[in-house]
Amino acid sequence: MSTSNANAASSASHGKFYLVGGGIASLAAAAFLVRDGDVPGSNIVVFESLPRLGGSLDGSGTPEAGYVARGGRMLEAKYLCTFGLFDTIPTLDGKQSVTQEIVDWNKTMRTSSKARLMRAGIREDAPDFGLAERHIAALSLLVLEPEALVGRVRISERFDAAFFRTNFWLMWCTTFAFQPWHGAAEFRRYLLRFAHMVPGFSRLQGILRTPLNQYDSMVRPLEKWLSARGVVFVLGARVADIAFADVGGVTVPRSLTIVRAGKQTETQVEADDRVVVTLGSMTDDAILGTTDLAPVQAGGEGGGAWPLWRKIAAGRANFGRPEIFDANVAESAWVSFTATMRNPDLLDRIRTLTGNVPGEGGLVTFPDSNWLASIVVPHQPHFAGQPADVTVLWGYGLAIHRPGNAVAKPMAECTGAEILTEIAFHLGIETAVMRDTQTRCIPCAMPYITSQFLPRGADDRPSVIPPRTARLAFVGQFCEVPDDVVFTVEYSIRSAQVAAYALLGLDRAPPAVYRGMFDPRVLFKAAKALHDIGAA
Query: What is the structure's pLDDT at 432?
Result: 58
Taking CA atoms, 45 is separated from 18, 22, 144, 233, 443, in Å, by: 5, 10, 44, 6, 33
Q: At 445, which helix (H) or strand (E)?
A: strand 440-446
- CA–CA dist 258, 275 (Å, integer): 14
Helices assigned H by DSSP within 428-485: none
Under the banding of pLDDT at 50, 70 and 90, the label for residue 345 is: confident
- Residues 112-149 have pLDDT tens digits of 999 999 998 899 988 999 999 999 999 999 999 999 99
Q: Where are the alpha helices (DSSP H) in 273-328?
A: 305-313, 323-326
Of 80, 195, 130, 172, residue with least CA distance to 521? 195
Give the per-residue pLDDT at 269: 98
DSSP state of 51: S
Contact 24, 49 (CB under 8 A): no
Please, which contacts does 427-433 make with residues 24 or more away whose CB atoms are closer than 8 Å?
A: 427/118, 427/121, 427/349, 427/350, 427/353, 428/120, 428/121, 428/122, 428/353, 429/121, 429/346, 429/349, 429/353, 433/343, 433/345, 433/346, 433/349
Q: What pLDDT does 438 receive?
A: 79
Q: 89 versus 344: which is more confidently predicted? A: 89
Q: What's the rounded Cα separation, in Å, for the pair 3 and 15?
A: 18
- Amino acid identity of residue 401, one-letter, is H
Question: What is the rounded average pLDDT for all residues in the chain?
Answer: 93
Quickly count: other Cβ atoms within 10 Å of residue 224's Cβ: 15
pLDDT in tens, 164-191: 999 999 999 999 999 999 999 999 999 9
Q: How far is CA 308 from CA 19, 316, 351, 475, 487, in A?
A: 14, 13, 46, 14, 21
- Does pLDDT of 277 surpass 50? yes
- Whether the CB-CB separation of 124 and 117 falls below 8 Å is answered with yes
- For residue 298, pLDDT beyond 90: no
Between CA 255 and CA 272 the distance in angstroms is 13
Q: Is residue 322 predicted with pLDDT exceeding 60?
A: yes
pLDDT reported for residue 190: 97
- Reply yes or no on whether the pLDDT at 5 is more than 80: no
**Tens-digit pLDDT profile for residues 201-254:** 999 999 999 999 999 999 999 999 999 999 999 999 999 999 999 999 999 999
Q: Are 211 and 105 in contact (CB under 8 A)?
A: yes
What is residue 138's predicted lDDT score, i.e. its pLDDT? 98
Q: Could you report the per-residue pLDDT of 452-473, keeping only the tens digit for each?
A: 999 999 999 999 999 999 999 9
Q: Give CA torsion, residues 182, 186, 188, 194, to 10 deg.
A: -120
pLDDT band (50, 70, 90) for residue 14: low
Given a cut of 60, whether residue 3 has pLDDT beyond it is no
pLDDT above 90 covers a percentage of the chain that reads: 89
Percent of the chain exceeding pLDDT 70 equals 94
**Residues β-bridged to residue 442:** 338
pTM above 0.75, yes or no: yes
Q: How far apart are CA 253 and CA 350, in angstroms?
A: 54
pLDDT band at 301 (very low <50, low <70, confident <90, very high): very low
